[in-house]
């Protein structure tokens, strides 16, 4: 339930030193949450979230009228600056205006003042944009797939990566599916990571054809999980850890320890209502060693994948 007071007193409020106008404007009727709650969510997760955003192109999903209204993806500043949001070197994306980066709680919360609900990240940092530092497997289930099959799929994908000697980290998308993230040393060009992730996907579909599909399109994944490896491309993005989703219930993309998968009830189990208690009770960061893993894609791995 909401702790804020309803629409009667809608005077501007202050979150992390940022002025939030219309704080009581409801942005999701399913959870009853208002604009101020979005701002407070990001204030609360900032310490855990900001390391993932540091010096990395971020795309913003704005939904000024709330989750039921129009949504648009924003990769550049519009006419209104967002306080604290930094413009990156235009050379990173020469044919467009500068991409953006968020390095502070002020910038995170200021974005919510502008109606931002979701934050999406590129797979490389600004200082080495040609060398991704992660490889993402976005597991997209057929809408009718029982959740247990989704859990099984995540375990199978993890097992294959383990066989290759690649440590993977699990997160919910906050929507329908799960994401496996493999942190990489920043040395492989995009093409190599795209091809490698495609080979992993192909192998999964070959080994478990009843569970995985490597082909895009709803008709190809009926009763199965589509492994979307196309997040691993130069300008593609993936929802950031701890981002809210602009969907009914305001799910949160939540980093998990692998031993939590079994008791996970769905990709939106952790949401704006349930996350605070989780954060308060966790005694350590489930992704604590994420930034310590700088893994390489080797010839031995490629051979195992038949590449």
Q: Which residues contact 263 (CB under 8 A, 6 or more apart)?
A: none
Q: Rounded distance, CA 106 to CA 62, Å?
A: 17
Residue 142 as a binder of Mn ion (CB under 5 A): the answer is no
Q: Which two tokens stand for residue 281?
A: 């009770």
Contacts to ligand ATP from residues 152-181, by CB under 6 A: 173, 175-177
Task: Return the number of the residue (172 or 305) whose C-beta is nearest ligand ATP.
Answer: 172
Residue 93 as a binder of ligand ATP (CB under 6 A): the answer is no
Task: Return the number of the residue (232 or 238) whose C-beta is nearest ligand ATP.
Answer: 238
Beta-bridged to residue 178, according to DSSP, are 139, 172
The answer to whether 255 touches 287, Cβ cutoff 8 Å, is yes
Task: Return the number of the residue (131 or 176) whose C-beta is nearest ligand ATP.
Answer: 176
Near ligand ATP by CB under 6 A: residue from 108, 182, 244, 267:
267
18 binds, options ligand ATP, Mn ion, none, Cβ within 5 to 8 A by partner type:
none
- Single out the residue of 75, 80, 69 nearest to residue 98, CA to CA: 75
Contact region for Mn ion (CB under 5 A) — 52-60, 119-127, 171-179, 257-265? 171-179
Residue 120 as a binder of ligand ATP (CB under 6 A): the answer is yes
Q: How far is CA 60 from the centre of its chain?
A: 12
Task: Return the number of the residue (142 or 228) whose C-beta is nearest ligand ATP.
Answer: 228
Q: Work out the burial of residue 112: count CB atoms within 10 Å of its CB; fewer than 13 is exposed, 13-18 middle, 19 or more buried.
A: buried
- Single out the residue of 248, 241, 238 nearest to residue 273, CA to CA: 248
Near ligand ATP by CB under 6 A: residue from 73, 127, 163, 288:
73
Residues binding ligand ATP (CB under 6 A)? 73, 120, 138, 140, 173, 175-177, 228, 237-239, 267
């Amino acid at each position: 339930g909401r702790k804020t007071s309803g629409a009667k007193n809608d005077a501007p409020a202050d979150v992390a030193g940022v002025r939030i106008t219309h704080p009581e404007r409801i942005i999701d009727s399913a959870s009853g949450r208002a604009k101020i709650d979005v701002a407070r969510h990001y204030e609360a997760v900032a310490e855990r979230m900001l390391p993932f955003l540091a010096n990395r192109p971020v795309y913003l999903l704005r939904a000024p009228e709330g989750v039921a209204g129009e949504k648009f993806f924003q990769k550049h500043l519009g006419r209104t600056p967002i306080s604290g949001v930094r413009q990156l070197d235009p050379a990173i994306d020469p044919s467009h205006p500068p991409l953006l980066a968020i390095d502070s709680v002020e910038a995170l919360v200021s974005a919510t003042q502008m109606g931002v609900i979701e934050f999406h990240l590129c797979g490389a940092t600004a200082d080495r944009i040609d060398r991704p530092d992660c490889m993402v497997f976005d597991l997209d289930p057929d809408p009718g797939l029982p959740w247990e099959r989704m859990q099984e799929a995540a375990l199978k994908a993890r097992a294959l990566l383990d066989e290759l000697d690649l440590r993977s980290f699990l997160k919910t998308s906050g929507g329908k599916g799960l994401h496996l993230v493999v942190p990489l040393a920043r040395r492989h060009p995009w093409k190599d990571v795209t091809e490698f992730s495609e080979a992993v996907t192909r192998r999964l579909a070959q080994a478990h054809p009843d569970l995985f599909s490597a082909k895009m399109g709803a008709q190809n994944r009926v009763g199965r999980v589509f492994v979307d490896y196309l997040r691993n491309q130069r300008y593609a993005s993936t929802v950031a850890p701890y981002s809210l989703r602009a969907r009914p219930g305001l799910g949160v993309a939540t980093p998990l320890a692998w031993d939590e998968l079994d008791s996970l009830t769905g990709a939106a189990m952790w949401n704006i209502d349930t996350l605070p208690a989780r954060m308060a009770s966790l005694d350590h960061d489930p992704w604590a060693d994420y930034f310590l893993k700088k893994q390489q894609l080797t010839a031995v791995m490629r051979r195992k994948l038949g590449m």
